[in-house]
Structure 1
């Protein structure tokens, strides 16, 4: 570009720049600077040619990134000179389909304020319309069938725009300028209300659906990523019926509130919670339950928290407003099945659960459950990463030379694809324990691979040979397999989440994972980077009497710990008396090692304490006993049970000392909330001592905390505060879950680092 006269430049913008209003933004910016030229989409991102005065071109390029739309993520802007041509005006041109795919697809976004106001305005032509959207909001990932992101490559393709929508779409001054899902009641999708047998019902679908809910019925509601099951949250009978029909005994339900004012009647809100609840992603947020919250006890039995969400679509907004009270909103499936997203499948699978169906005729291409987060020090701590977050990429520091597929674990499964620097985690798949979920897993890998043009040649997987994800990897042809140890993957996931490479001291606490020595790990201290790790310490290993049965029945771990401490003279606790008839047999399994593998699992230690304290002998879902132990912990208690830390090449943390402290307090009549708190505090303190010892030994000053146990904010707060006070830098999860839902990112980061180095 010369300093004399008008110049012309070619610009390439890559990143999350399609489906976020980027082309309209470029067009408007070009007009502001009196530039001629054009902008368009292609599989790599956005291409631009701009012509004008050199100073205006420089300002234009500088503002492309600085003033980009809020949902955009500009990763690179490259500029090259071009020869000026005779041209006037700036236009958006047809997309190009050729070239290697590099583009990122945006997640679905909840209704923006402007669209919400339009829906509520009786004078607007989209008043009460359930599919209102613009360049700033609406469905994206769940409707995209191909790239580039244009209407013909979405499930909106069958809906031809009417003249009025078409004018908005072509008007650079309209907020619907090049909004691909734009529609209205005259040309877009429409709603229907069906009875339990699939027969259409007369009347306003939303109004009648709200009336049915108010009368105690259960409805299946089609969202953007799949079906929900809904019932009035304050109706004990309806919520109980939903539990029974869905076969979901104890796991809490999420609650839909119409707006922040309604949410404040349910939970205690901070400014950070309000920001996350009302933001475009609209996850379920786990928050402290307000006393007297108008919800049935069956919504979240015995839980001090409620999972609350605001409407993620105009349809949910309309239904919540018409209902005028909170509603349970849970995934449209039976327990352990994937969420239903196809209409015929929903009518088949949900007909025995729902009394009616509120449906629409826009196809869902990609199923996606609701996301779930907790808040820690004002930041999001993901529990389940799915709708609203996927497929926003995580950028890796060192790109692999080949495309990578990371297959994830067995529970809370996600998979991850890597192309260049982009690591794209899938939506939540679920536990790979049945045919339907495995089919959903394979279908999802195929969909995402095609969408992003990924042909995996390097496939990372867990070391456990019986995981279905490992078996899937082993069945692939023409790929190189990389086994990644479970807890190394957790720490690598935390590193990638923070854009780090290590080395760090990693604390990985979870339920179970196969160790590199063939035993079951779960309470690990690692010195690790992305390429490898050393096991530097762990919780002491105890037997799991009955193997997998001990996971479902935490009382077995209570027997194992008490037998290790007291032998043939267990303490006279209600827990011991309750299981006296089976005590000798289970203790014998632990002593002989018959069907009783050793484990260093932190999750099993939590199980033992929960059972001994009388909270839970059997679990109805994974992690239930540990969750309840956290829920019972007295918030202000600071006393802690002492625990030994033995030295040697590998440090060993005494879990039996922590259990002994809990037993002595229980025998002395100390209340369970204090016992729970002192256990948390004791575990945090002994782990802190272990980390400080390793820091002194290695010179490392960074610590990564990962694994499902670190969803426990009581333990996390104690650990994080102690480490910071000791002057160490602490890496936590904020973009992917610390549980096994983030495992695939760690596997991918390890494989990418090894491939880059190779």
Structure 2
């Protein structure tokens, strides 16, 4: 027994991801195993601990606290202060308390191995129960209504725990201690099988078996999952996939495929160790994998695509479905194209009954839509292309506290962001703000953050573009609340700042921002930009030679228009006589006359320096894509065209006074096309030229740190080669990992720029 005079007591406050991860039972077990006394409790800020023991016990406790903490926990800040010992008799877990809302909300997590084992164990009380979970897995962000993360603050509050679940929930030594979604067949959510009118046809196991039979029979079913609905169909059934595409108005865009096991994935796709780790991680994202020849999944799943978006079962319901089917199924978002995914079963009947033949639903409410995340391995590390389930709303940790700021993001691939203290919280993927349904989801995401953290920021960051719905929201909010400060942020500066923030950079860098569209300070469309930038300011030191886009936004959907624009810059009106070139052939004579008049008279032909549009133009010249049915299709086709070719050749890259003049390159590309050079070789040489352009600017400005951002850097070949070439010449490239390089990262850049500018001004 310790002498009372040898005892010391510490009060410890921990901030970070410490709720919903089994942190309190971990601390309870650690303290009791060390023979220490005190208590722990959740608060809206994190957790509070008072711990008492000898100095050696306290030192060991603090050491093990960091070394052995739960796998999904994250200690961002630990503050300890000395107290007078109380000589208590045991260690307790106290009820949660309220306070300032700063704790981190954990993302939804894939079913853990222990729960999977119990799911298929006939002797377990939760055998084949589709909502099995524990402290280490299951819903989090998709069910929380308020902080702290306790059951009354979640959508599970509607389910009264049975005695067995209550016993587990209250036992600190149980794996389900304070697992807020805890449930079992006796007291928890239940499955139902509905027809497309919403009539209940079966429940529980019978509902599950009906869904399995429907998929086997080639039907399209809508399945309510963790963060919303999926459409599911046999990925080997050509007719079923064609029907789904027709009903969903999605002719070409790739669909994700859920495989029953990692072994099944390996049969169809090339799989590195890192890609396998990503597939089986608790985040369980869709991973883009290079497909093999003659795979079981049909070409219609991802037409003309060298890659397949693959995921594994990540909920108990998925595991039950896939274990019975034992073949890959399409698992695509439960929505109409360009709309948010459905989260409510009654709403799904209204919105999705024209697509799905039947519905597999449950009665656990989903508080907010959380779509599947998408990840691709680039330069031997993961790059998140769509940040949602498994990752959102985890924050970026900043080096110092910044003013509270709401950033409302861009127009495409919208996310919103919120700075609080030294955390930059990022929402789940919301989508393109092109209709009222998505705009509603956007406003709900803002409400979520403001309600969870009980803030209403006066500082609002938005895009410079006056026509973006997100910008208009910021302006409307400012008109309602006069204390609001709006900080318009240039689109490409936001791209660079987002990459800087996640890489912990603050000082000036050479920023390379290449994408399709961004509003420039001169009123033109930027997109092939070189900046000297930091977190508050930027200087545009280079860009692509501008050209005019006939039809403006229509040219974004029609790469053939970008190609015509490039040819017109080269040859003027003579470009329309080159009917030997496929983009010119793609228009009839009347259409060519209209385009020619538009360019001559400069009618609806905005200037652009966009790298993305140049990628589109080359894709059209190679006759890969003339009219796109989804964003990025032409550039993707250009990347896939160079598969299985290796060359270091490139075209001339002429740079004069900071302007990359692509004219000579395009003329040589046309010469190669005329000489019947393979499209693969032309694509490879074009990509290599784009890399050399970046190298030339890096050499000119002699900035060791080069930051790469924008949608063009989703291209694996281009990014891999750019990074390798920069490193080989002694530069330090930085690229995205946890924040998307596309417009899904814009809100992050907006938030850090606005907050940094306010700090600089002394605000």
- The TM-score normalised by the length of structure 2 is 0.96
Residue of structure 1 aligned with 2:562, choices 557, 560, 568: 557
Looking at structure 1, the residues matched to 617 and 597 of structure 2 have their Cα atoms a distance apart, in angstroms, of: 17
Q: How many residues align?
A: 750
Give matches, 1:322-471, under 5 Å: 322-401=324-403, 403-471=404-472
Residue of structure 2 aligned with 1:525, choices 518, 526, 530: 530
Looking at structure 2, the residues matched to 460 and 567 of structure 1 have their Cα atoms a distance apart, in angstroms, of: 41
Give matches, 1:507-546, under 5 Å: 507-546=512-551
**Shift of residue 374, structure 1, vs aligned partner:** 0.7
**Shift of residue 173, structure 1, vs aligned partner:** 2.4
Does the 8 A contact of 2:653 with 2:689 survive in 1? no
Residue of structure 1 aligned with 2:265, choices 255, 263, 266: 263
Whether 1:725 and 2:728 are equivalent positions in the alignment is yes
Whether 1:606 and 2:589 are equivalent positions in the alignment is no
User: What residue number does 1:195 align with?
Assistant: 195
Looking at structure 2, the residues matched to 575 and 464 of structure 1 have their Cα atoms a distance apart, in angstroms, of: 30
Residue of structure 2 aligned with 1:616, choices 618, 622, 625: 625
User: What residue number does 1:576 align with?
Assistant: 584
User: Bigger shift: 480-489 or 2-11?
Assistant: 2-11
User: Bigger shift: 43-52 or 77-86?
Assistant: 77-86
Residue of structure 2 aligned with 1:716, choices 705, 715, 719: 719
- The TM-score normalised by the length of structure 1 is 0.97
Q: Cα deviation per residue 1:164-206 (whole Å; 9 max; x = unaligned)? A: 2222222232211221111111111111111111111236221
- Let me know the Cα RMSD of the aligned residues: 1.6
Residue of structure 1 aligned with 2:595, choices 582, 586, 589: 586
**Shift of residue 520, structure 1, vs aligned partner:** 0.9
Q: Cα deviation per residue 1:673-698 (whole Å; 9 max; x = unaligned)? A: 11111111111112211221111xxx
Looking at structure 1, the residues matched to 337 and 725 of structure 2 have their Cα atoms a distance apart, in angstroms, of: 39
Q: Cα deviation per residue 1:332-369 (whole Å; 9 max; x = unaligned)? A: 10001111001221111111111111111110011111
**Shift of residue 569, structure 1, vs aligned partner:** 4.0
**Shift of residue 149, structure 1, vs aligned partner:** 0.6
User: Bigger shift: 1-10 or 561-570?
Assistant: 1-10
Q: Cα deviation per residue 1:202-258 (whole Å; 9 max; x = unaligned)? A: 362212201111101111101111111110100011111111111111100000011
Q: Give the secondary structure class of the aligned counterpart of 1:242.
A: helix
User: What residue number does 1:52 align with?
Assistant: 53
User: Bigger shift: 105-114 or 557-566?
Assistant: 557-566
Q: Give the secondary structure class of the aligned counterpart of 2:399.
A: coil
Looking at structure 1, the residues matched to 629 and 307 of structure 2 have their Cα atoms a distance apart, in angstroms, of: 18
**Shift of residue 323, structure 1, vs aligned partner:** 1.4
Looking at structure 1, the residues matched to 368 and 288 of structure 2 have their Cα atoms a distance apart, in angstroms, of: 25
User: What residue number does 2:664 align with?
Assistant: 657
**Shift of residue 452, structure 1, vs aligned partner:** 1.7
Looking at structure 2, the residues matched to 63 and 76 of structure 1 have their Cα atoms a distance apart, in angstroms, of: 16
User: What residue number does 1:595 align with?
Assistant: 604
Residue of structure 2 aligned with 1:740, choices 743, 753, 757: 743
User: What residue number does 2:674 align with?
Assistant: 667
Residue of structure 2 aligned with 1:627, choices 636, 649, 663: 636
**Shift of residue 139, structure 1, vs aligned partner:** 0.5
User: Bigger shift: 292-301 or 59-68?
Assistant: 59-68
Looking at structure 1, the residues matched to 190 and 625 of structure 2 have their Cα atoms a distance apart, in angstroms, of: 47
User: What residue number does 1:114 align with?
Assistant: 114
Does the 8 A contact of 2:119 with 2:129 survive in 1? yes
Compared CA separation, residues 394 and 2, structure 1 to 2 (3 A): farther
User: What residue number does 1:681 align with?
Assistant: 688
User: Bigger shift: 442-451 or 637-646?
Assistant: 637-646
User: What residue number does 1:751 align with?
Assistant: 754
Compared CA separation, residues 49 and 639, structure 1 to 2 (3 A): closer
Whether 1:487 and 2:492 are equivalent positions in the alignment is yes
User: Bigger shift: 570-579 or 295-304?
Assistant: 570-579
Does the 8 A contact of 1:27 with 1:92 survive in 2? yes
Looking at structure 1, the residues matched to 565 and 689 of structure 2 have their Cα atoms a distance apart, in angstroms, of: 20
Give matches, 1:205-244, under 5 Å: 205-244=207-246
Give matches, 1:499-514, under 5 Å: 499-514=504-519
Does the 8 A contact of 2:582 with 2:620 survive in 1? no
User: What residue number does 2:275 align with?
Assistant: 273
User: What residue number does 1:70 align with?
Assistant: 71
Looking at structure 2, the residues matched to 211 and 530 of structure 1 have their Cα atoms a distance apart, in angstroms, of: 55
**Shift of residue 566, structure 1, vs aligned partner:** 3.0
**Shift of residue 11, structure 1, vs aligned partner:** 0.8
**Shift of residue 380, structure 1, vs aligned partner:** 1.2
Does the 8 A contact of 2:111 with 2:137 survive in 1? yes
Q: Give the secondary structure class of the aligned counterpart of 2:513.
A: strand
Looking at structure 2, the residues matched to 609 and 663 of structure 1 have their Cα atoms a distance apart, in angstroms, of: 9
Whether 1:24 and 2:32 are equivalent positions in the alignment is no
Looking at structure 1, the residues matched to 473 and 3 of structure 2 have their Cα atoms a distance apart, in angstroms, of: 57
Looking at structure 1, the residues matched to 707 and 452 of structure 2 have their Cα atoms a distance apart, in angstroms, of: 33
Looking at structure 1, the residues matched to 105 and 452 of structure 2 have their Cα atoms a distance apart, in angstroms, of: 9
Does the 8 A contact of 2:150 with 2:180 survive in 1? yes
Looking at structure 2, the residues matched to 192 and 265 of structure 1 have their Cα atoms a distance apart, in angstroms, of: 34
Looking at structure 2, the residues matched to 119 and 466 of structure 1 have their Cα atoms a distance apart, in angstroms, of: 51
Compared CA separation, residues 274 and 644, structure 1 to 2 (3 A): closer
Does the 8 A contact of 2:564 with 2:583 survive in 1? no
Looking at structure 2, the residues matched to 279 and 23 of structure 1 have their Cα atoms a distance apart, in angstroms, of: 23
Compared CA separation, residues 128 and 378, structure 1 to 2 (3 A): farther
Compared CA separation, residues 661 and 635, structure 1 to 2 (3 A): farther
User: What residue number does 2:645 align with?
Assistant: 636
**Shift of residue 639, structure 1, vs aligned partner:** 4.1
**Shift of residue 564, structure 1, vs aligned partner:** 1.9
Does the 8 A contact of 1:640 with 1:680 survive in 2? no
Does the 8 A contact of 1:254 with 1:306 survive in 2? yes
Residue of structure 1 aligned with 2:698, choices 691, 703, 707: 691
